[in-house]
Structure 1
Amino acid sequence: MITVRPAVPEDADAIVDIRNTGWREAYAHLLTPEFLANLTDDAERLRDALGRARKTVTVVAELDGEVVGYALAGPPPDDENAPRDWGLFHIYQYSRAHGSGTGQALLDAAVGDRPAYLWTAEDNPRALAFYRRNGFVADGTRKIEHDWENMAAIRMVR
């Protein structure tokens, strides 16, 4: 059974593990093993942020009582020339949850059917197919993530 709920400070360790594991699973073909081995563990900072009132929405998905995914969405950062008033910044889950419906439940809870935008790796077929199924299209904006070993990212909007 899938349950989606707002994240709480006690979810910080699980969220960081899901994020780092998700990056390793999704980007292994794009980033070096050394880069992926050195991902940060910022659970304490996240725990503090989850304990404060924020403009963003962070939700977790539980599958049979285990936290297996999370999503983070909200207003765009002030320094970003965003095409929409709402952005999806993170959505990750363990690969063992793929196909379970948790990804869709997370997107629905964090973004709903509102106009939104997101950035994704240009070479991320699974994510691209998921976003397209949910009405997102590439808007032609591309950037190189220099801090991510020059990985190419594209912006998608709906």
Structure 2
Amino acid sequence: MLRVKTVGDIVDSQCTRCKALLNHTIIAMVAGQVVRVKCNTCGSEHNHRPAKEAKEPKVAATKAASARTSTTGAAPRSRAKVPAQSDESIWEEMIRPLDPDLAGPYSMEGKFKANTLMAHPSFGIGVVVSCQSGKVEVVFKTGRKLLRCGC
């Protein structure tokens, strides 16, 4: 038989000062529910924050199950999934028609034009996509980068 909790009993609560689930003394109850507690570790008083229950992972519903639950009887609409192109494949496409030996070195004060090659000391060879307001967007094999320039 479970004992009913009353003022003065000990409960587990998330302490706002200690940032941990600790023993607290009940100092106020409303309609049988614990509402205010005092931390037995640091002495702070705060609203009761009970221990959070572990959430169970959600299982994805199958299309057949979701079709049965639909009120119209038709399968729910979903967005067409377009496979995202990786940065490496985009880089390979862009660099194919260009000669890597003609790549100009990167400089923060340099001026660059779209569809030209850039040699960066850390990222390697990249293709300039755009240049505006002191920044240049370049596609490298490892991904897109926004670099400072003299544009």
Pairwise TM-score range, normalised by the shorter structure: under 0.3
So what's the TM-score if we normalise by structure 2?
Answer: 0.21
Query: Which of structures 1 and 2 has the bigger CA Rg?
Result: 2
Pick the structure with more helix per residue.
Answer: 1
Greater RCO, 1 or 2 (C-alpha within 8 Å, sep 6+): 1
